[in-house]
Chains A and B, each alone.
Chain A
């Protein structure tokens, strides 16, 4: 069973490619389909937004493909379409990412468009105002979405006064105040070779990639000037925040402190999370909340290993009349896992699942490139793909019980609820 994990060394397929000036990328060469996928990450993200201007990183990421170098916005998009190039940027809390996908025969044009977007985005007045209006519309769109409301309230309270507490997409108040100067300042602060990680998968050889790397990334400044982000632990744990909203269902978000990806116990924590609410049809929360009692369609938990304030989190949506019951079942499951750890059978099934399903996480070139970038950002080493299943396999019941206590502690959570829950 699970011979997937041992059949072929994935790590041995990763080539480290260096350009003339030392820009490094991880490459998996594969010619099965005539395409190339690239994923790029730089540290920063929305946690580098100016304090009074949340939304800056997202705004900039949305503008990079709206005109660059000699091409105004519409010419830039025409050119992407003429060559069927897919190119985009996004900002998470801790990083700015860029994605590129191209047919192999349009490689040169595609890398060149990526180079322009990364280094020479024009940030013209027309696209700035157009994208600003789009971002405002998107914030309006989510203004009364119950899940989004519960999530915003969770972060605003748990990380009050910390960059993670600010809405990463900005607000109706901050988006109108972000100027071109703010965007340029953000770019010069964050875009740098120092924190750059690159992964490429597909129909390209190492020598060709080395030349492209120099061309695309060679002009970036060497150093970033990131504002230090303080380490934070979530506040208000042990309390609930209720937001009254006239809908038939309560949207619930819960969470507390978690572990960093670099923590030696992180792998064990990921096994525990799978047992609690990570598995789609087999987790404790699925069985107790959904299957046995029909309280919710969606109930799940996640680890969110943010760089400066890692979390364990989860959520569900359940009718107002039974929201209190759902939440008490969730709390009881977390407490029980913290006190007793998992039993042998559920630990065994979780380990088998996590080991066997690992290759399904990177079954497309795009996903594989994303995985390779993530491994570099987290400093996991090229051999991680070969080591990872062994780490899961080595988790014992004793480890799991110890880490469950560490991760879930006394089982206390900070909870936000949006709706009209009865008896809460």
Chain B
């Protein structure tokens, strides 16, 4: 055996659309006789109707409650008995359901998943306890955790008008009011073949997948047109804002800075890639500028980094975070973070930083090929947020093409201190 020439493009991906509008992506991976079967719907929490925050996520839970054909629990029992794994997740822009099973069970998964695309049956007897489950989920993730509460405040301050400012799980007072009718109305609006993307990764061919999909999803009638996302758009920010959360439970304070930035979908050519490289230069493990300057040189922070939500339908967010050293203050740390960014804006990035960031980002695409479910998620999330298959396949080249000037320009335009939202998490000493 010899090592194959190294390939940036990865496997040969197929992309087909059925007559009823369902899009299909097939990602071959023949290492083990397993498939990952996912259905992505192009609706997420940012499409929740006004006053009904949390409905996308609540419906995701309710999708496990059965249909006329297959009552509650049957689908999960079948997946379990076939030795499969399953779950679902809701994000701002999409909701997705997946199963991982042995390849010969693909059609069974498709039959069940197609059935619940239009056949969901809900009664108050199943809806009411499930609402309590979601309430406990919110308590567990947010209401017992001051840092998650700061995250919510930061988001709603950053996005004053766009629904990216609302929590995916919803606000507690609105979750408490969600009912069966809300769930069904939302379901009928968004769960249609035109709004869905089927992603199958694994030990299958394009022809097999398309044929099985025709026999299952293909029988669902088209609704005539895609549901539309109706979202208010965020106006350009004019001010810097500050959010402070004080809680007696905080033992380790932290600082966050957030900006609204373009996503792959909204950005001019090359800008999202430049932001991706910028974040890598700022926060790569052990080598990023924030770590080097704040943690190693100035010893003003014990940890610092950044992240960028690049995959999104609308303008998205870029965040910088830092934990202060016990001897430092949040105020001094904030000045130091701003200095790191100001320095990058003024002087740009070094060639070796640029090279290193690109090497790392491109290597990640090879590492991703080792994981069938990572690949399926990568393609599903890109398509569900309006990128094309071509965008994903050509991503390594687009990253390779990023120049030092583009990174500097992106930092200058988007990491503007006049529009930043700053978050402080501090201990409430008075309580």
Contact = CB atoms under 8 A, between A and B. Distances in A.
Interface of A: 1-4, 7, 29-35, 37, 65, 73-74, 76-78, 80-84, 86, 101, 103-105, 126, 130, 133-134, 136-138, 140-141, 143-146, 203, 205, 247-249, 251, 279-282, 290-298, 317-319, 348-349, 352-360, 363-366
A291 B292 CA distance: 48
A35 B366 contact: yes
A84 B129 contact: no
A282 B76 CA distance: 7
Given A81-B359, A101-B367, A103-B363, A297 B84 contact: no
A356 B286 contact: no
Given A249-B139, A282-B77, A364-B371, A356 B84 contact: yes
A65 B287 CA distance: 12
A357 B366 contact: no
A134 B85 CA distance: 36
B83 A358 contact: yes
Interface of B: 1-4, 6-7, 30-34, 64, 76-77, 79-87, 100-102, 104, 128-137, 139-140, 143-145, 249-252, 284-287, 292, 295-296, 299, 302-303, 323, 325-326, 355-356, 359-360, 362-364, 366-367, 369-373
Given A141-B252, A364-B371, 8 more contacts: A2-B82, A7-B33, A31-B2, A74-B292, A81-B359, A297-B134, A319-B135, A356-B82
A365 B366 CA distance: 12
25 contacts: A4-B34, A30-B31, A77-B285, A78-B287, A81-B359, A130-B295, A136-B326, A144-B251, A280-B85, A281-B79, A282-B77, A282-B80, A291-B129, A292-B129, A294-B128, A298-B137, A317-B139, A317-B140, A318-B136, A319-B136, A348-B81, A352-B81, A353-B83, A356-B81, A359-B34
Contacts, number: 197
Contact of A33 (B133, B249, B355, B370): B370
Nearest to B299: A130
Contact of A4 (B86, B102, B356): B102
Nearest to A143: B251
Contacts of A134: 302-303
Contacts of B363: 84, 103
Nearest to A77: B286
Contacts of A251: 144
A413 B181 CA distance: 42
A53 B93 CA distance: 48
A323 B366 CA distance: 47
Contacts of A101: 367
A360 B100 contact: yes
A352 B101 CA distance: 12
